[in-house]
Structure 1
Amino acid sequence: MYTEQGPILIESGARMMGTILEDAVISAIGDSHVTTTVERYVQPEKFRNRLMQGYQLNKNLFCITLVSNETGTVLENHVVERLQELDSFYKVFHTPQVGEKIYKTVDLFTNPGIIYLLHDSQEQIYKDYKEIRRLEAEGAFFRVECSI
């Protein structure tokens, strides 16, 4: 993370985060964790110079992990259909398709999808976030045949 004092390591691990949509991050700040890592090793001087300049926020970006309150088989998936109506909707992935199992969300492995919102306006993103949570609470994203 870039701070006023320079870059600060928040977390370290043996791998890069896998559920990040690189194109969304690049749209928001011009680079991603992947492009920055490559630059660090391939063009270290450019990397050092860029660290001193910081980054410019081009767009606001928000990532939402969906929550399911039920376990069963997906009979209908309306996620993309519902999300396309939102001004800040960018992309969704990892949603269960018709015929696949969906699980009551208890951790990251049982979430039924990840949504990216990208927009110039933070207010628009917040408005769309609230709408997503409303739709989710109403069960508007999936029709599920519940199982025990």
Structure 2
Amino acid sequence: MWPDLVQKSKEGGLDAIETYVFWNGHEPRRREVYHFGGNYDLIRFLKEVHNAGLYAILRIGPYVCAEWNYGGLPVWLRQIPDIELRTDNQPWKDEMQNFTTLIVDMVKEAGLFATQGGPIILAQVHQNLLYSDCASEVERSFFFFFPSFSK
């Protein structure tokens, strides 16, 4: 499926493909089960994009808004004591960092960032922060979290 869609995108004049990473699809049970096969094979998809000579924009999430059920967040997050989703809350930041680190490390290991010769020219952590009531708190927390990935 992907090679055909990627090729049609290229033939249509696109030079980059943007993709989300759906946390609830990749980690349906907290730190027990990870899905990265079939339609969830992120590395294979990114390699298809690269093989077609296109760039990739990787939207890691963890929150992907209305584009996916529950914003892409796994429902098991609600069972974590004292968690406040999408806020400057330590349980939320711990879970978010665990998942984001998993994805970034996987992509780095596959050599898929542009600095490694891969197709990923941009990676985005989170979405629509400016529209959140807690935007300034969350954004501040990301300034401490994200620099470790940007090197």
TM-score interval (norm. to shorter): under 0.3
Greater strand percent: which structure? 1
Over alpha carbons, which structure has the higher Rg? 1
When normalised by structure 1's length, the TM-score is 0.26
Greater helix percent: which structure? 2
